[in-house]
Copies of this chain bind each other. A is one copy, B any other.
């Protein structure tokens, strides 16, 4: 019975129930043709915690302003030093552990950061299914639509979208091939490739299938900033993907995210540079993609499908890691945790060093020293903080590139302590 089913399944990969077009963005409709993928996709509502990742489902009393009855743990409460690092910036108000894709739109809409700053429509790029909305706003032109939405106030843009990331954002409806739909990534890759001597790179034409299995994630899991009054979303890769390349870029254009409240430093906030960090690691170098670990193949009868329940690989070690690594599950978990623990300890040292610098700077300022005198130390703070945050905000706790993450933390410590010395 089971076997018969399996032999049948083996022969007939999918039933075409509806005709998908580029105008349909509701995943439920796509799910009619691909019920297995859709079922898993819906499971991104699950919340399970790992040692350093996953997320915890914390009950909360809904209010009219924020109807969520479950949120994930607050990172700034877990480590109060973060509030000091981000003093004067919205992140010191509310910053939580990220959770599954199903929540992206509501978590963005409801974060208390929205109450502190007026955000632009640009935010939507990575928290909603914007492919169709962009095309509509741009009269068929994706990039034009992107530009239009960028300049809307957040809550106006919010009305134009209705789903978190959906099938249409990663797939071509006709062939189901992967595709890149995000202008930010298309332009970012172009700039990056140009820096390597490749002119007019077109990701949708020139990327290999295996590359696409990471690039679809690189659409959002990257460091970014909003450029100019048009609030254009830009991935700062024109000098390279390493932390020093990105900082050099920001320095060149004299960009800052905010001025640190206690010290006056022109500070930067690094944000989820998973793609950049992964690029420095041994897995990327070995051709292992994000999807290999976060959407591993699973067997459904005779079919092998990609697990669309995107989540921490530690919740699925056998499929995520054991295809390549013949070690027992417990051993693999222990390996990851050894790497993460080492990373976390060094991150804590770097955090302490930064706290020391901030408190020295603050005291110097209170003692009446001018910004001119403090400039060197402030610049060290900018650097130290960006490096530290680059690892802190990277959600793998060092796993995506262990040696590189430790190197960056080591340099961050050096910057913080040199900043202190500059105050002598």
Contacts and interface: CB of A to CB of B under 8 A. Distances in A.
Contacts of A285: 335, 338
A219 interface: no
* Of listed A349, A356, A413, A424, residue having the most chain B CB within 10 A: A413
A56 to B, nearest CB: 27
Interface in A216-245: none
Contacts of A116: none
Interface bracket on A: 20 to 34
* Of listed A349, A406, A421, residue having the most chain B CB within 10 A: A406
Given A282-B335, A335-B285, A413 B417 contact: yes
Interface in A317-356: 327, 335, 338-339, 342-343, 345-346, 349-350, 353, 356
Copies of this chain present in the complex amount to 2
A356 B418 CA distance: 10
Contacts of A327: 286
Interface in A117-173: none
A191 B42 CA distance: 55
A345 to B, nearest CB: 8
A338 B356 CA distance: 33
A285 B197 CA distance: 40
Nearest to A349: B414
Contact of A404 (B335, B342, B413): B342
B402 A346 contact: no
A317 B349 CA distance: 37
A211 interface: no
Nearest to A417: B417
A44 interface: no
Contacts of A413: 410, 413-414, 417
Contacts of A339: 403
A414 B417 contact: yes
Interface string A257-291: 00000000000000000000000001001100000
20 contacts: A285-B338, A286-B327, A349-B411, A350-B410, A353-B417, A356-B421, A398-B403, A403-B406, A406-B406, A406-B407, A407-B410, A409-B410, A410-B413, A413-B413, A413-B414, A416-B417, A417-B418, A417-B420, A421-B421, A424-B424
